[in-house]
Amino acid sequence: MKPEPERLLKKHNKLVHSDMMKVRSHVQRESDGWFINTLMLEGYEVPFKYKRKQRYKNLKGQRVNLTYYADCETVAGLNIEIMTVVRIRVA
pLDDT one-digit tens code per residue, 1-26 = 456 666 665 676 788 888 899 999 99
Q: Are 9 and 67 in contact (CB under 8 A)?
A: yes
Residue range 27-41, pLDDT digits in tens: 999 999 999 999 999
Domain total of the chain: 1
**pLDDT for position 14:** 82
CATH code for the domain in which residue 68 is found? 2.40.50.140
**pLDDT for position 6:** 66
What are the CA-CA distances from residue 49 to residues 2, 3, 87 (Å)? 26, 23, 11
Range of the domain at 51: 4-90
**pTM of the full predicted structure?**
0.83
Residue range 42-69, pLDDT digits in tens: 999 999 999 999 998 899 999 999 999 9
